[in-house]
Amino acid sequence: MTQKNLLVRACGGLAFAGVLFYFLVATVLQFLRPDYSFMGTPLSFYLLGPHSAWLHIAFYALATAIALLAVGCYIASAPPARSAATLVLFMLGAIGVVVTALASTDTSDKLSVHGAIHLLAAALAFIATSFGMLIQSWRFRLDPGWVPRFRPALELAVFEFLVLWIYALAHIPANGFMQKLTILLILLWLAQTAFWLSISRRV
């Protein structure tokens, strides 16, 4: 096994662990915060109050996972399938996740400076990561080793992209649920791709 292959598998394994940690923490908090409505409360609110430190750590773990996945996919792909745009988008998404955690959201209707930063960072995290997923999935078709992964990756990325814009534009009453569904779909794509990297046998 080459050093590049070891690096790719390490990136995949660590990214998978980061995504799983984020999912577990975010899920457990749904039960530890009965004062919040699962359907109506965005996940950002859980960054405040009891047990919020765990979610902050989970956000940083997720950002690290996105960055590792970006590097792993770039290294693991044949030159024709590599995309600098994907690398940049995932890195921007990771930065957006970190800033989202650092700048607390507004819990009232009044928009503050840190609340505005939080909203912009969250939008960057969602949009950059989602576009990165789409482009990366599409590029899989250009690498014989990734071709079998092309269709499931693209289908999930497209579905998540549609759900993201329904969440952003439709103003559905169950706003918290739609946000969490969007995040879950992103996590599924990231976990799936990280797992593929972790079992990669070729570079």
How does pLDDT run across 42-94, given as a tens digit for each residue? 999 999 999 999 999 999 999 999 999 999 999 999 999 999 999 999 999 99
Which 3 state secondary structure label does DSSP give 111?
A: coil
pLDDT band at 173 (very low <50, low <70, confident <90, very high): low
Q: Which of 22, 24, 25 is nearest to 63 (CA)?
A: 22
Q: What is the pTM of this model?
A: 0.94
Q: Which of 124, 101, 114, 112 is nearest to 44 (CA)?
A: 101
- Identify whether the C-beta of residue 29 lies closer than 8 Å to the C-beta of residue 55: yes
Q: Is the pLDDT assigned to residue 203 strictly greater than 60? A: no
Question: So what's the pLDDT on residue 111?
Answer: 82
- Identify whether the C-beta of residue 168 lies closer than 8 Å to the C-beta of residue 40: no
Model confidence over 118-147: pLDDT tens digits?
Answer: 999 999 999 999 999 999 999 999 999 999
Q: Round to the nearest angstrom and report the end-to-end CA distance of the chain.
A: 9
Looking at the chain, the whole-number percentage of residues with pLDDT higher than 70 is 98
Q: Which of 32, 186, 38, 174 is nearest to 122 (CA)?
A: 186
Q: Which of 129, 126, 113 is nearest to 168 (CA)?
A: 126
Question: So what's the pLDDT on residue 3?
Answer: 84
Averaged confidence pLDDT in the chain: 93
- Identify whether the C-beta of residue 197 lies closer than 8 Å to the C-beta of residue 73: yes
